[in-house]
Structure 1
Amino acid sequence: MTRHASKLTANALPLLIGSVPMDNHDAATALVFDHTPDIPLWVQLPKYPSEGMVEQFIDGLPGLKREGDKTFIDSTSPEFEGQVLEFFEEYLAVTEAGQDIDQSRFILPEDKCKGVTALLERVGQLPSPPFALKGQVTGPVTFGTGVTDQDERAIFYDDQLRDIMVKRLAMNALWQARHFKTRGAIPIVFIDEPALAGLGTSAYITITRETVTQTIEEIARAIHQEGGYAGVHVCANTEWDLLLEADIDIISFDAYLYFERFILYPEQIRQFLERGGILAWGIVPTLNPEDIRKETVESLLMKFYDQVAQMEDIGIDRAKLLGQCFITPSCGTGPLTLDLAQRVLALTRDLSFVIREDG
């Protein structure tokens, strides 16, 4: 479990979540490099509908139909079974027969993921690669409950459609990790799962913990296959023990608002860190504009060290904790104004610097 994380030293480096409130990918990428040069990521610009969490990863699914503003999977169409066969033939060709993934449906579409192109072009201009590169895919629960079939039933509840969807996301993640690795950087790919905040509620009462774990771990295995590190990002509260016990390397959580909920799992946190897991500490607020305006590096530093002290109280070594954490915003900055987003990025960078200087 977390078989890669022990080789990755986080050391409180700054790390970002993908969305940025801009409309130019090159400018947004430059902003990312200004604030997180050690681990830049490819940006998602939600001002473009094509860069939504579902839309970026939906191409290539069998049965995909668009009618007006509605996108769904039609598993009753005459072409569906043939498309399913083609999907699995291509999947096996890439995973077992050595077909170049760049010549498959599993690439990220350039028209919907221009941030990837901007990132890789920028990396190619550097004299040496960054320490790591970060990408992301939408998580299986979020994606699978956000896409429906012809009867408006979420595809996560259909065994066949769920399997196809997870394999599609896994290959998208593998494609990113492979490209990051060939650039000489450590690959980090986050599985973004905002829907896990609803796990255990009546809305998702028929989704089992076992199925959630299986689907996330299938994507993580694809990332691991390329020597990458698999993270899961949840921007609210969830059943943290599920993720702490899963075969993933990084857990990204909102420490600003939900640290008291996260620390309710002391034994699982200890075990996760003991096997090399890394915490992406979302200490910089993104949800409430007033919080963003009022917080400073000094106030967030006090909050962070108070949380570290609480971790020490449950038996976690301070030096180990600082070595196995990233400093991050609590979520992406896409919904914010540009000035607030820039403040979030600056707070993240500067807070990380002070923590690392303190040792």
Structure 2
Amino acid sequence: MEVFTANALPVLVGSMPHKSHRQAVELIFSATPSIPIWPQLPANRQEGMLRQFLPGMPGVTERDGKVFIDTAASDFETHFLHFFEQYLAVEEGAEEIDQSRFTMSPAEAAGFFAFLEEARLHRDSVIALKGQITGPITFCTGLVDQDGRAIFYNEQLRDAAVKHLALKARWQTSKMAQVKERPLLFFDEPGLAGFGSSAFITITPADIATCFSEVIAAVHGEGGLAGVHVCANTEWPVIFDTAMDIVNYDAYSYFDRLLLYPDHLVSFLQRGGILASGIVPTAAEHVAGETAESLADKWFTQTGELEHLGLDARTIFAQTLITPSCGTGTLSESLAEKVLSLTAQVSMLIRDKMGVV
């Protein structure tokens, strides 16, 4: 299998403010034809960060507009047992994953199916396909039981949720790999911005590593590269110390925080890791005030700082993707489209200066 070389190609982050999946897909393939993504449109109720990947989890209940896992329900134990029976059947090859609860449907992920349809038309020109799923830490700290307690703190529920996400990631990766080998699958982890705070004081690096190891292995098992997207700051060693292939961070606002861990950063790049540099801002006031030239200059300045750590500029370039700092789901459509355009333009300016067409 051909080695994936990033070469500052542009890639987007999943969420967009549009209501039409077809329109969103067309915008994505126009702005980032080399590595397109599938759009998540939170304007549609079922496409929220938790809701979109809930189908298939045992005990999911909605009451008074709130979604939770009801472990007190009389049939919960039965559904919980059936969940693990099907998980084992899929893992052991006794049941096809396509026939299991671990797929996605057009009801909650219409953008994925529109994306695959378009990708098949461009399979000879795309370099890779990129998908995304809510990460295990954000999922397990955001989803609660009937008492309002995050399921992360219930070991059985956490285990089920991680396995649920792992197989959903595996299925998504396999579908993309059928169109183009070596897909990219990112785990969206805004919840990791709280790691180390009092809210997460009982969550350890070992807990995070265990959760990530299972979902990363699922992606690798289908020939994909696993990435993580954190839209703010976190304690980066907890990610660098995993087998994650790509780290997507907010380079526009938090590059200096990444430099606080030079040894981990250098080690990550030396083992072939890819930095997905979120150099294009997604805060409305910053989007309006920046140009492609100013953002490309900012990236080259940051590259100079990485060189001071002993890294080679060509290596940094080869192991960099250019992305927005976060999704655009909360922006207006016009500003979101500007972010898409800026991402493509910044990539083009960097690649031109580095002599790569």
Tell me which interval the TM-score lies in, with the shorter structure as reference length: over 0.9
The match for 2:234 among 217, 238, 263 is 238
RMSD: 1.2
Q: SS where residue 219 of structure 2 aligns? A: helix
Paired with 1:127 and 1:337, the residues of 2 have a C-alpha distance of 31
Structure 2 unaligned residues grouped into runs of 5+ = none
The equivalent of 2:26 in structure 1 is: 30
Structure 1 unaligned residues grouped into runs of 5+ = none
Q: Would you say 1:292 and 2:260 are equivalent positions?
A: no
What are the within-5 Å matches in structure 2 for residues 15-94 of structure 1? Answer: 15-94=11-90
Q: Would you say 1:316 and 2:311 are equivalent positions?
A: yes
Q: SS where residue 130 of structure 2 aligns? A: strand
Q: CA deviation at 1:74?
A: 1.2
The equivalent of 2:115 in structure 1 is: 119
The equivalent of 1:153 in structure 2 is: 149
Q: CA deviation at 1:61?
A: 1.2
Matched letter for residue 31 of structure 1: L
The match for 1:134 among 117, 121, 130 is 130
The equivalent of 2:324 in structure 1 is: 329
Q: CA deviation at 1:159?
A: 0.1
Q: CA deviation at 1:280?
A: 0.2
Q: Which runs of 4+ in 1 moved over 3 A?
A: none
Q: Would you say 1:13 and 2:39 are equivalent positions?
A: no
Q: SS where residue 111 of structure 1 aligns? A: helix
Q: Would you say 1:338 and 2:330 are equivalent positions?
A: no
Q: SS where residue 252 of structure 1 aligns? A: strand
The equivalent of 2:250 in structure 1 is: 254
Q: Would you say 1:226 and 2:235 are equivalent positions?
A: no
Paired with 1:68 and 1:186, the residues of 2 have a C-alpha distance of 42
Paired with 1:180 and 1:60, the residues of 2 have a C-alpha distance of 21
Q: CA deviation at 1:8?
A: 1.5
Q: SS where residue 186 of structure 1 aligns? A: coil
The match for 2:102 among 88, 98, 106 is 106
Q: Would you say 1:357 and 2:352 are equivalent positions?
A: yes
Q: Would you say 1:214 and 2:214 are equivalent positions?
A: no
Q: SS where residue 328 of structure 1 aligns? A: strand
* Percent of residue pairs identical: 49
Matched letter for residue 111 of structure 1: A
Matched letter for residue 198 of structure 2: S
Residues 355 and 149 (structure 1), Cα distance of their counterparts in 2 relative to 1, 3 Å cut: same
Q: CA deviation at 1:281?
A: 0.2
Q: CA deviation at 1:129?
A: 5.5
Residues 159 and 128 (structure 1), Cα distance of their counterparts in 2 relative to 1, 3 Å cut: same
Cα deviation per residue 1:260-309 (whole Å; 9 max; x = unaligned)?
Answer: 0011111111100111100000000002x121111111111111111000
Q: CA deviation at 1:185?
A: 3.6
1:297 and 1:350 in contact (8 A); partners too: yes
Paired with 1:80 and 1:102, the residues of 2 have a C-alpha distance of 24
Matched letter for residue 66 of structure 1: E
Matched letter for residue 353 of structure 1: M
Q: CA deviation at 1:68?
A: 2.6
1:129 and 1:183 in contact (8 A); partners too: no
TM-score by length of 2: 0.97
Structure 1 range deviating more: 330-339 or 126-135: 126-135
Structure 1 range deviating more: 122-131 or 246-255: 122-131
Matched letter for residue 116 of structure 1: F
The equivalent of 1:164 in structure 2 is: 160
Paired with 2:246 and 2:338, the residues of 1 have a C-alpha distance of 25
Paired with 1:298 and 1:130, the residues of 2 have a C-alpha distance of 26
Q: SS where residue 156 of structure 1 aligns? A: helix
Matched letter for residue 100 of structure 2: S
Q: CA deviation at 1:127?
A: 6.1
Matched letter for residue 285 of structure 2: E
TM-score by length of 1: 0.96
Cα deviation per residue 1:31-77 (whole Å; 9 max; x = unaligned)?
Answer: 00001101111100011111000000111111111113121111122
Matched letter for residue 343 of structure 1: K
Residues 202 and 163 (structure 1), Cα distance of their counterparts in 2 relative to 1, 3 Å cut: same
Paired with 1:65 and 1:313, the residues of 2 have a C-alpha distance of 53
Give the count of matched residue pairs. Answer: 354
